[in-house]
Amino acid sequence: MAFWNLASSEPRRAHRFLLNLPNLAADDQRSTYREYLCKTVTKPAYSLSETEHKFLGNTYYYPGAVTWENVTAQLVNAVDPDGNAILMSALYRGGYMDPNQQADYFAGEGFGLGTPNKADALDALGDVLIRELDGEGMDIGLWELKNPFVTNVKFGDLDYSTEDLLNIDITFRYDFALYYPATDGEISANAVTWQNRQTNAAGT
């Protein structure tokens, strides 16, 4: 039966979610990102390229490579935790050195040169998890971004003419995403279990 005829069959709702960014923290580790600060987040999306082959007046198409699209999130730029400090810390922890630090190094006062790199950028962010919830707060699905790092941050614009909350817009790049469905409010143990279940179901 359709969800409008069966109360137990409910559609997913856009406002029922939690965004988990476990490693985002200021340098002192006391100011960490909190899930309730997230306002919006886009879910993972992918595109599949195509390759064409022409033969005797006909065109045939074959699937190519999969590309996962960026995920964006908007967070409230809070005072505590300090959103500015958290995202600036992630930049430095990802390997970035500002000109002052570089000057210190060449003056013999620094600890070594570095540039943004994937290993440090991944460590600064940690696993990005998007939890979809039902009306009772139970998990109905989980998206996991694999090998994510921050590629773009906008700290919001100051404006005397408005009293709106100040936001931070973040863009995440990742290699691929996994989806874990939930059963009775609990997420599947791992993606392999889910993939095997799908394969077995298709073969029966």
Write down the pLDDT at residue 171: 97
Write the CB contacts of 160 (distance below 8 Å, at least 6 apart in sequence): none
Q: Hey, what long-range contacts does 18-23 have (CB within 8 A, 24 or more apart)?
A: 18/130, 18/131, 18/133, 19/73, 19/128, 19/129, 19/130, 19/131, 20/127, 20/128, 20/129, 20/130, 20/131, 21/125, 21/126, 21/128, 22/126, 22/127, 23/123, 23/124, 23/125, 23/126
| Tens-binned pLDDT, residue by residue, of the chain (204 aa) | 565 566 666 788 889 999 999 888 887 666 789 999 999 999 999 999 999 999 999 999 999 999 999 999 999 999 989 999 999 999 999 988 888 888 887 887 767 777 889 999 999 898 899 999 988 888 889 999 999 999 999 999 999 999 999 999 999 999 999 999 887 667 765 544 444 544 555 554
Measure the CA angle with vertex 189, ends 185 and 190; round to 5°: 125
Other CB atoms within 10 Å distance of the CB of residue 161: 5
Write down the pLDDT at residue 98: 83
Write down the pLDDT at residue 192: 44
Write down the pLDDT at residue 10: 78
Write down the pLDDT at residue 28: 67
DSSP 166: P
What's the whole-model pTM score?
Answer: 0.80
